[in-house]
Structure 1
């Protein structure tokens, strides 16, 4: 992406145009384009998202959208930040409760908009809503005597766990949309596979299968989040980790 294109995304996200206060409700705006695009992605998946498809849902021509959003890449950046805007900032308080709140906000966002997890995020331009939520999560662990890089690592560990569980959930949603077959029904139809669950070949999996372990799965989000926070507690409360004087925020 050219520098001019990156700057354009920054301006769209951080310096949005004023919304029209007069005129008919049908008038087009950046926020209306983003809202319509999110609805398309929610209903049909992000692969179905095109400028033409969004224009169709709004009843405008495709070219009219480009006056408000330059292209699909910028539209996706705006969509992601708009979805982050549906979450709440982590409130001040004990670090564990704060990080749990942060995790649950991300989980709720992913469940409402699983298409987000099918986007490449490593070089997507962050917007003000996403950055504000991240800043609040950093703040909740800022009183623990951690080095700055440790603050980042702690919050990132929680966010990446949620993203990992969410990606599995998003893949299931996409598969069910594309095939019309639920996850449970798909696995129930794998009779040829279950025939190979024998004690001599797969002793532990056969034991778990026979004892009903696969039929009573623990909630992957709840179980995993608790274990992640337990592990962070061991690190944070370790007596071997030297305390660091907290720098005053300017």
Structure 2
């Protein structure tokens, strides 16, 4: 894998015809293919065909499929949003909601951004953006990284469920309906929680609820590390 490709772009050809494609155009063609058919449909020859060039011609711009997929993910997810300057908590909440929106718009990007792969400036800018929000908090460097990792993991998990057409609460309710009809007296707390959910008319609020729990936990951690009035930690 060429780990410099996303940062430096393709090397100018020393000979041959003048380049006619741009990386943006290549990424756009790959994104359209992945959006329509999934990441498994993306191959150098398929993208080349969409662009009206040969597979060998495409290799003049992109070293291989790994770099092509990374290029697509960079363009599909895009730059992080401008975060509100009203504190770390609104900032991280906005960050997570924006990331969720990007994954929901392009579900294949979930698969494209795991495991060994070329990592580009867009992905690192998202990380930098979230860490900048936490820069003035009492959290240590490792704790700031872990906070962002937990938040990103929660966001990815919800996006994966949504892209698969899954509603965890609905799935659970359907799966346990028959057992509870026969053995409900053994699970009073479960029945009570399900009844309360139905009475409140609550849908699947897993993302926002999980987001609140993570931010609450980070806030509590900060409070334990904040300097006391005497100046001691």
TM-score after normalising by structure 1: 0.73
Query: 1:95·1:141 contact (CA, 8 Å) conserved in 2?
Result: yes
**1-structure distance, mates of 2:114, 2:202:** 33
Matched, 1:129 2:114: no
1:180 match: none
Residues 78/122 of structure 1: CA separation in 2 closer, same or farther (3 Å cut): same
1:164 match: 157
Cα offset, 1:65, TM superposition: 1.1
Query: 1:117·1:170 contact (CA, 8 Å) conserved in 2?
Result: no
TM-score after normalising by structure 2: 0.78
Matched, 1:27 2:15: no
1:203 match: 187
Cα offset, 1:114, TM superposition: 0.7
Matched, 1:235 2:228: no
**2-structure distance, mates of 1:200, 1:193:** 10
The C-alpha deviation readout for 1:112-156, integer Å capped at 9, x for no partner, is 111111236132222111212211211111111222111211222
Question: How many residues matched?
Answer: 215
**2-structure distance, mates of 1:18, 1:112:** 31
- Unmatched runs of 5 consecutive residues or more in structure 1: 20-25, 174-182, 244-250
Query: 2:77·2:103 contact (CA, 8 Å) conserved in 1?
Result: no
Cα offset, 1:222, TM superposition: 1.8
Query: 1:77·1:126 contact (CA, 8 Å) conserved in 2?
Result: yes
- Equivalent residue of 1:227, what SS? helix
Cα offset, 1:104, TM superposition: 1.2
Q: How does 1:28-43 map to 2 (within 5 A)?
A: 28-43=21-36
Query: 1:89·1:133 contact (CA, 8 Å) conserved in 2?
Result: no
Residues 88/52 of structure 1: CA separation in 2 closer, same or farther (3 Å cut): same
Q: Which of the residues 38, 51, 54 maps onto 2:47?
A: 54
Q: Between Structure 1 and Structure 2, which shows a larger proportion of helix residues?
A: 2
1:178 match: none
Provide the alpha-carbon RMSD of the alignment: 3.1
Cα offset, 1:99, TM superposition: 0.5
The C-alpha deviation readout for 1:173-215, integer Å capped at 9, x for no partner, is 8xxxxxxxxx79x97xx7x974443242673555656676498
1:108 match: 101
- Unmatched runs of 5 consecutive residues or more in structure 2: 13-18, 228-233
**2-structure distance, mates of 1:206, 1:109:** 36
2:210 match: 224
Cα offset, 1:47, TM superposition: 1.3
Query: 1:37·1:79 contact (CA, 8 Å) conserved in 2?
Result: yes
The C-alpha deviation readout for 1:13-33, integer Å capped at 9, x for no partner, is 1112599xxxxxx93222211
Residues 71/149 of structure 1: CA separation in 2 closer, same or farther (3 Å cut): same
1:88 match: 81
**2-structure distance, mates of 1:206, 1:39:** 45
Query: 1:91·1:140 contact (CA, 8 Å) conserved in 2?
Result: no
**2-structure distance, mates of 1:122, 1:100:** 26
